[in-house]
Each structure stands twice: as C-alpha cells, then as structure tokens.
Amino acid sequence: MDYHFKILRFDPLKDEKPYFQDFFSRPKEMDSTLEAIMEIRDKQDPSLSFRYSCREAVCGACAMVINGNITLACKTTVKSLNSHQIVVEPLPNLEIQKDLIVNMDPFYKTMESIDPFLQPNGPLPEKGFRIDEKQMDKIFQFVTCLWCGCCYAACPVVSRDERYIGPAALAKLYRFVKDPRDGRDSAFWTKINNPGGIWGCDTVFRCNEVCPKDVRPADGIIGLRKKLIVEKTKNLFKRKS
C-alpha cells in the first residue's frame, strides 16, 4: 500500500506562508523516513530541500518533526511509525529557511556561548592523562551529543524565554565541568546562575524525551544545579572558619 507523505514546504522569499504538499510513495520494508523522502525528492520533486549526511544517526543533520515527534529522520523507520500517513515538518523554535531546513545559527550560538572546549589547569602530562575509567564513563553520556538541536527545538522554555540557552548547551557545559582534565575558572558559574542558565529549566524533561542519542540533557542541568549548591555551601563554610 502507498504511504501518504504530507511534507511542509516553504520558501520565505516566494511563499506567503508554509503549506503541506502531498506525496505518495512505497518505501522499502526497513527504509528510514530520510530514505523515503530522499526517494520522493529524487523521483518526484527534486526541489524539496532538507539536510542529511551520515544516514546512521551520528552526524545530527536530519533533525525534523515526523508525525509530531522531534527526531532524526534517518533513525526513524517508516515501519516504526505504525501509520500510512506521515507528516514531515521542520524543527520548531528555529526559523524556516526553506522547506525542512531551519536556521540553526541561534542554536549553535548557545553551544558556543558556554566555551565548549577543554580548559586544562596545567601543562599537559607528557605521557597523556591518567583518568579513572569510571570518571570517563560518567561523562560519556554527555559526550555523545550531536549538536542536532532536537532538544532545543522541543524545549518549552526556549520557545517562550529568549534568554534561556537551552538544554544542549548546559549539558555540554556539564560534560566539561565533570571532566577530570578540565580546570575552568569558577567565573563561568555567574554566566549560568540565572534564568537564562540553569534556573531557566522548568524540568518537564522534553529534552530527555526527544534526544536521539539518550544524552538526557536534563541530567546535566540538574547536575550543574547540585554542583553549584555544593560549591556555594563550601564557600560559606570557608568564609565562616
């Protein structure tokens, strides 16, 4: 049986507003939504625009909304949708540039704003760091973030409060704070100790739900909150004694 794809189309330079275009096609048994819309593009309408690259859920290029779920199109098999109607839309919370392509720059800026690079506090040991396996395992959850923007698109706080930098950036920061090799200056706390940072999150965990790599960004946000409180208490005691 044919599948009915309803794909959002929009060219802001030509169209007044977005509209859905209908396509009918018959994807193969294990085809992903990405493969299905590629086939539609190749055979029916080459002007359809969307991003993609690795097709194996490691590059994060093909984030979009499929039947209401924010996800990577390459990771979502058509079969798993249990429906013969498939509605494909671009990520919310970001401006549409054409069809399924959104402007990711605001999201990338939030990622860059937290200084997402290791800041070691001394010279590098000549024969490499010695790091406890368990400590490395702890950050691995956060290291797998692809910068795909799914969590940013899903976050209700991002959509209503422009100050909020969003789940991915905070989880990334936590990855570095927890890295035993990192010795960043504690000044970074002032940047995120506010509603635009860790206190912005209203813990509805939409980010954890949509993350295609199970990063669970909210774990990072909560981790940062806990760590901040511990630091503060430590300072309090230091001042008293």
Our finding on whether 127 is near other proteins (CB under 8 A) is yes
Our finding on whether 3 is near other proteins (CB under 8 A) is no
Among 19, 140, 156, 161, binds other proteins (CB under 8 A): 140
Q: Which of 139, 232, 228, 233 is nearest to 181 (CA)?
A: 139
Among 132, 187, 240, 241, binds other proteins (CB under 8 A): 132
> What is the enclosing helix (H) or strand (E) of 16?
none
Chain residues 9-48 in contact with other proteins, contact rule CB under 8 A: 11, 13-14, 30, 32, 38, 41-43, 45-47
Neighbours of 226 (CB within 10 A): 11
CA–CA separation, 191 and 60 (whole Å) = 27
CA–CA separation, 197 and 177 (whole Å) = 15
Among 82, 117, 121, 238, binds other proteins (CB under 8 A): 117
Our finding on whether 139 is near other proteins (CB under 8 A) is yes
Cβ-proximal residues to 102 (8 Å cutoff; 6+ apart), any chain: 90, 91, 94, 95, 96
**Footprint on this chain of other proteins (rule: CB under 8 A):** 11, 13-14, 30, 32, 38, 41-43, 45-47, 49, 51-61, 75, 77, 97-99, 101, 104, 108, 112, 115-118, 120, 124, 126-133, 136, 139-140, 143-144, 146-147, 176, 179, 181-182
